[in-house]
Amino acid sequence: MKSKNQHTILKTKNLSIGYQSKKTTTIVASNINLNLQKGELIGLVGGNGVGKSTLLRTITNVQPILHGEISIHNKPINQYAAKDLAKVQSLVLTEQIASKNLSVFELIALGRQPYTNWVGNLSNQDLEIINKAISQTNIESLKFKRCFELSDGQLQKVMIARALAQDTDLIILDEPTTHLDMYHKAYILKLLQKITKETGKTILFSSHEIDLAIQLCDTIIVMTNTEVICDAPCNLIEKGTFNTLFPKDLIAFDDKTGSFRVKK
């Protein structure tokens, strides 16, 4: 049972997302009402093409709102200056980083950009926060390696460390387990769970790893072609929400095990 005293980090009200051109408006999803709480791990799941990335891009102000409201700490996101928004939310994308020739430490240090002076000099406090982020993600041994030397799993941990160094209340990740094997998928999501518990930060991530999300998340946002539902995993299972995610001809959700299985 969720506490009524929890603090809402991000809230959406009657939100519609999609794309707009001079002539047409394409609505991907509408009537989205979310309340993301402090210190929770939140998974965003759904089939291909339902709009998960569009929702994340809209929440992070990369893409304009079509209708409705998004607020962080009760302040509409369109009222934040870019630098101030970067102090309350950080974003980890699946795109390749611009320069893999950077060292791990240098890449993580980029997370301090919203706070450094125009020259980009790091203060003692900046260095302390960077080193803490490295410790929290268990990558001390990678600190002086170049990013091109890293595996996909190692690089993902470095990107999470950079988001931690940015020191925001909300961290958003778009499919952080893409290209990882089963062990490293579980490792990354377990790491995110650990970070929420230790830091009190709210972490929202999109993923196709629905079984893992059910096991590890406090809250899951389920997107279908017709609606967006947000609730605790146990409540979603009880409501039969996961049964509506995919066509029933090939896979089915097992309420008892909390996982999907291939039909025989």
Q: What is the DSSP string of 86-98?
A: TTTEEEE-SSPPS
CA-based nearest residue to 58, from 89, 83, 84, 87: 89
Over residues 126-131, the mean pLDDT reads 96
Q: Based on the domain organization, do 111 and 192 belong to the same domain?
A: no
Q: Give the per-residue pLDDT at 3.
A: 47
Q: Based on the domain organization, do 110 and 228 belong to the same domain?
A: no
Over residues 18-24, the mean pLDDT reads 88
Q: Based on the domain organization, do 191 and 117 belong to the same domain?
A: no
Q: Based on the domain organization, do 209 and 234 belong to the same domain?
A: yes
Domain hosting residue 178, numbered range: 1-88+170-264
What per-residue string of b and e applies to 22-48 under the rule 16 or more CB within 10 Å gives b?
Answer: eeeeeebbeebebebbebbbbbbbbee
CA distance 48 to 36: 23
**Backbone torsions φ then ψ of 67, nearest 5 degrees:** -160, 150
Please give the structure tokens belonging to residue 94. Answer: 């699946």
Over residues 117-135, the mean pLDDT reads 89
In the predicted model, what is the mean pLDDT of the chain? 92
User: Which pLDDT band, with edges at 50, 70 and 90, does 244 fall under?
Assistant: confident
Please give the structure tokens belonging to residue 73. Answer: 């700490």
The last residue of one of the domains, among 121, 139, 167, is 167
> pTM score > 0.95 for this model?
no
User: Which pLDDT band, with edges at 50, 70 and 90, does 175 fall under?
Assistant: very high
CA atoms within 13 A on the CB side of 179: 11
By mean pLDDT, which of 78-87, 92-101, 195-204 is the weakest? 92-101
CA distance 4 to 31: 24
Q: Based on the domain organization, do 250 and 146 belong to the same domain?
A: no
Share of the chain above pLDDT 90, in %: 79
Q: Give the per-residue pLDDT at 118.
A: 65
Q: Based on the domain organization, do 177 and 211 belong to the same domain?
A: yes
Q: Based on the domain organization, do 152 and 216 belong to the same domain?
A: no
Q: How many CB atoms lie within 10 A of CB 13?
A: 13
By mean pLDDT, which of 20-24, 70-74, 195-199 is the weakest? 20-24
Q: Is the dihedral of CA 75, 77, 78, 81 positive or negative?
A: positive
Q: Give the per-residue pLDDT at 1.
A: 42
Sheet strands side by side (includes 25-37): 25-37, 8-20, 67-72, 75-76
Q: Based on the domain organization, do 196 and 243 belong to the same domain?
A: yes
CA distance 124 to 112: 12
Over residues 10-15, the mean pLDDT reads 97
Higher pLDDT, 231 or 245: 231
Q: Based on the domain organization, do 221 and 256 belong to the same domain?
A: yes
Let me know how long the chain is: 264
Q: Are β-strands 202-206 and 228-231 bridged in parallel, bridged antiparallel, or unpaired? A: unpaired
Contact, 66 vs 16, CB < 8 A? Answer: yes
The last residue of one of the domains, among 167, 183, 218, is 167
Residue 243 has pLDDT above 60, yes or no: yes
Cβ neighbourhood burial of 158 (10 Å; 0-12, 13-18, 19+): buried
Q: Give the per-residue pLDDT at 98.
A: 64
Over residues 146-158, the mean pLDDT reads 93
Q: Based on the domain organization, do 28 and 150 belong to the same domain?
A: no
User: Which pLDDT band, with edges at 50, 70 and 90, does 79 fall under?
Assistant: very high
| Per-residue pLDDT reduced to its tens digit, 192-215 | 999 999 999 999 999 999 999 999
User: Which pLDDT band, with edges at 50, 70 and 90, does 100 fall under?
Assistant: confident
The last residue of one of the domains, among 109, 138, 167, is 167
Q: Based on the domain organization, do 59 and 177 belong to the same domain?
A: yes
Over residues 114-126, the mean pLDDT reads 85
- The CATH number assigned to the domain holding 65 equals 3.40.50.300
Domain count within the chain: 2
User: Which pLDDT band, with edges at 50, 70 and 90, does 60 fall under?
Assistant: very high
Q: Are β-strands 75-76 and 67-72 bridged in parallel, bridged antiparallel, or unpaired? A: antiparallel
Q: Based on the domain organization, do 100 and 82 belong to the same domain?
A: no
CA distance 12 to 234: 23
